[in-house]
Structure 1
Amino acid sequence: NRKGVNLIVETFTMVSPLIALLATATGSNQQGLINWLRDDSIDCYINPAIAIRQSRCGSGYGCFVTKNVEEDELLISIPTSSCLSIADALLDDDCGEKFGEILKKAGPGGGLVGMAGYIAKEYLKMEHLGEKYEGRWGAYLKTLPFREGMNEQDHMLWWRNNEVETLLKGSYAFDDAMGIRNEVDVAVKILSGVIGPSVKRTRQGFLPFGGNTEGVDEAIRGAFVSIMSRAFDGLLDDEELRLVPLLDMLQHSDEPNIRHATKNGQVDIHARSAIIAGSELMNTYNEQLPSWKYFTRFGFVPGKNDVSVRELLQAKDPIFFEARATAEV
């Protein structure tokens, strides 16, 4: 599960994610991710029955089984060394020292900020360099939603101010959304100054002039969306956030058919019960959250995949506007 994370000024709660949000409408990035995981570590295991397909339960892709699997059968095992964390950001040659300073000043929440800056920088470098990009995380970064609308992903961090005022004001989600947006706005300004010069140098290449920082703020905001909707804490005996490839692709269900646990440096995903061929693998994000908080954290409302959040808000749906005395807490 995800716990409260202090960004810079105040603490806001975020929980364990698993939204299938991928960068393009094709399956090439997903297959590239599987190939990379297998090449990255001999300890990676992906059951031959696993297939990545368009999700039936939300936007983007999901994991399915192509044959019947038994209860407790191992489906996926990802070494923690293949999970992206603040430790990777701190080792970065370009900005690792600056990320370390942020971590010291902001406390535990600085890990989230540093991770966002690191993956945003690497994404922009990969986007510019293409096949010449040599960073370790390229195959994984291609599956993350760095820009609004990627893979039909929606999140209130991308909403315009007038949309927030018009649609959210008066709802249970308004104060929560505004608090998170304000925190991220502060972090974007700080991180833009940290990673901007590195991005500019990459785009400049060997020329003595040129380069720009276009799209840096947008990529940082997209990095926060990725981390808020996908990262886990508590996988090891610490509070460190980690992005776990493949596990973060699984959609949410109140009746999950998998369970995951970390043992001996491996994040193992087992079948919670027998699963029939053709079924999508489902996890539960956080059963204690009220439905409207799924929106401010993950960008969706459970059980409402057939209608957009904007439509729910426009209709003053009870999920968002029921009297506070009887609201979910």
Structure 2
Amino acid sequence: MVDDFQAKSDVFMAWLANSSATISNKIVLRDLREHDAGRGVVAISDIAEDELLFSIPRTSVLSVENSDLSTTLRETLQELDPWASLILVMLYEYMRGANSPWKPYFDVLPTEFNTLMFWAEDELAELQASAVRGKIGREGADNLFKEMMMPIIRENQGAFFPREIQANYALSDADLLALAHRMGSTIMAYAFDIEPVELNKEVDEEGYASEEEDEALPKGMVPLADMLNADADRNNARLFYESNVLTMKALKPIAAGEEIFNDYGPLPRSDLLRRYGYITANYAQYDVVEVSLEIVREAIQSESQIPSSVLPYLEDHGIVDSGYDISYQGRSGQNILEDISPELLILIEALLAPAAEFDRLKAKGKLPNVNELSSQGIKCLLNIIRNRAAQYSTSRKEDVDMLFQLAGVPIHAEIAPRKLRRVKMAVEVRIGEKLILEETEKVLEEMAERAGEGLLLKRNERSPQTSANKKRRTT
């Protein structure tokens, strides 16, 4: 007897086929719950590099453009940003039930999430001083839903609650708020940036678009493409945008029996947890620690007074930010300064510069050259790292001991209590961040000793750029 989980998968795949999707007979949508991965796409025959895995018509993408709501509330949707407009469309289509063309798709999407948005306060406290706690955005999401979306829904009852389904959806504001959070989390975890037929985005030499460019793109839910699990090391497929279809192709040969993986890009595990509700050791290589502007200012002010004109000048040049990333250390031959935000180094050297030197740079419209870090800058950076580490309430050794005690708790398994799974993930995140701080402190101590001998550490010349975890490769 086919269980309900598999039955929904079968109906979904049949719906795709009836929607003019092209699906290779070499792949299947498989139940991977025993591997703690929900659904996933698996190869059942050998697949060659560049081979088509499936193609989804653009008309089958769950998007603002394709929903009937875009006709009913066109001007309203145009006034909303891509995230808010898609959430509204998702609410509309979900509440239509069987009347929505995407009903089989909704049936295979998750109804519960393990993302930080849904963690209790005591669970979030296990993240300690991780900067990710300030990026969850629960309060902002609540305000968006209550102040913008609920009035739109209530003012358009006829559109959102047709007479034939009103009896099933007499939702209170609390019900609507919970449903809006569910749709928003679904989009966070599964939606794609839907690139237009003619791509006008600017990308850098590595093929990355800026965060601002990506935020402006329409968002859409791409059936089946979002069923692929992600893996930083085993990524073997990518979604491509064509005129009438979105195609998923193999990036390398895939053997029969192998799972097909997409890739989220270089996300630290803290962001993986925030956005998708899980972590994996494969993403440890992208871990970062964020150092706040406030902690930098405190370290500088302990050494000297900050002239009032410095920060406004640096802000005009894009140097001032709320936080700065320090990324994973330990790569062979890697200069540690290459793993520290160049904006942070410029900020430190500018704030420490003698008034006359800063005035000279300002007159020329220039910034400090951080190809070399001064001895004073090294010591200041060392103090910043130590102060940042002190914000955590336990040591890394204590965390490792705690993790050892939790070693028998599977992160994803349904049999493990949810709270224990969350605690384990939080401990792993903070261990990764503390490891970065420890390694950075150790190297900076050696640098400070060398600086005392009149030696300065040089860094490879590199222009300030967006941190790696804020960039995305465009297809």
Shorter-chain TM-score range: 0.7 to 0.9
1:35-184 equivalences in 2 (<5 Å): 35-41=14-20, 44-55=21-32, 58-89=36-67, 91-92=69-70, 95-101=73-79, 103=80, 110-126=81-97, 133-145=98-110, 147-148=111-112, 153-164=113-124, 166-177=125-136, 180-184=137-141
**Contact 2:187–2:221 (8 Å) recurs in 1:** yes
Q: 3-state SS of the aligned residue for 2:88? A: helix
Q: Quickly say closer, same or farther: Cα 1:72–1:118, change in 2 above 3 A.
A: same
**Contact 1:203–1:211 (8 Å) recurs in 2:** no
2:190 corresponds, among 230, 250, 262, to 230
Alpha-carbon distance between aligned partners in 1 of 2:99 and 2:221, rounded to the nearest angstrom: 20
Aligned-residue offset at 1:226: 0.7
**Contact 1:172–1:321 (8 Å) recurs in 2:** no
| TM-score normalized by the length of structure 2 | 0.53
Q: Does 1:259 align with 2:238?
A: yes
1:281 corresponds, among 260, 279, 296, to 260
Q: Quickly say closer, same or farther: Cα 1:219–1:96, change in 2 above 3 A.
A: farther
Alpha-carbon distance between aligned partners in 1 of 2:248 and 2:224, rounded to the nearest angstrom: 10
Which has the higher Rg, Structure 1 or Structure 2?
2
Q: 3-state SS of the aligned residue for 1:294? A: helix
Q: 3-state SS of the aligned residue for 1:256? A: coil
Alpha-carbon distance between aligned partners in 1 of 2:166 and 2:243, rounded to the nearest angstrom: 48
Aligned-residue offset at 1:321: 4.7
Aligned-residue offset at 1:100: 3.4
Q: Aligned AA for 1:40? A: S
Structure number with higher helix proportion: 2
In structure 1, stretches of 5+ residues that fail to align are 1-23, 104-109, 127-132
**Contact 2:43–2:260 (8 Å) recurs in 1:** yes
Alpha-carbon distance between aligned partners in 1 of 2:116 and 2:149, rounded to the nearest angstrom: 20
Q: Quickly say closer, same or farther: Cα 1:187–1:240, change in 2 above 3 A.
A: same
Alpha-carbon distance between aligned partners in 2 of 1:207 and 1:58, rounded to the nearest angstrom: 37
Deviations 1:95-128 (A, max 9, x none): 5553334x2xxxxxx22111112212322331xx
1:319 corresponds, among 432, 438, 442, to 432
Q: 3-state SS of the aligned residue for 2:246? A: strand
Aligned-residue offset at 1:25: 6.3
Q: Aligned AA for 1:290? A: P
Match of 2:218 in 1: 240
Aligned-residue offset at 1:87: 1.9
Q: Quickly say closer, same or farther: Cα 1:206–1:134, change in 2 above 3 A.
A: closer
Q: Aligned AA for 1:50? A: I
Q: Quickly say closer, same or farther: Cα 1:143–1:326, change in 2 above 3 A.
A: farther
Q: 3-state SS of the aligned residue for 1:35? A: helix
Deviations 1:291-323 (A, max 9, x none): 211111221112389423431325774135556
Aligned-residue offset at 1:282: 0.7
Q: CA RMSD in A?
A: 3.2
In structure 2, stretches of 5+ residues that fail to align are 201-216, 283-408, 412-420, 441-467, 470-475
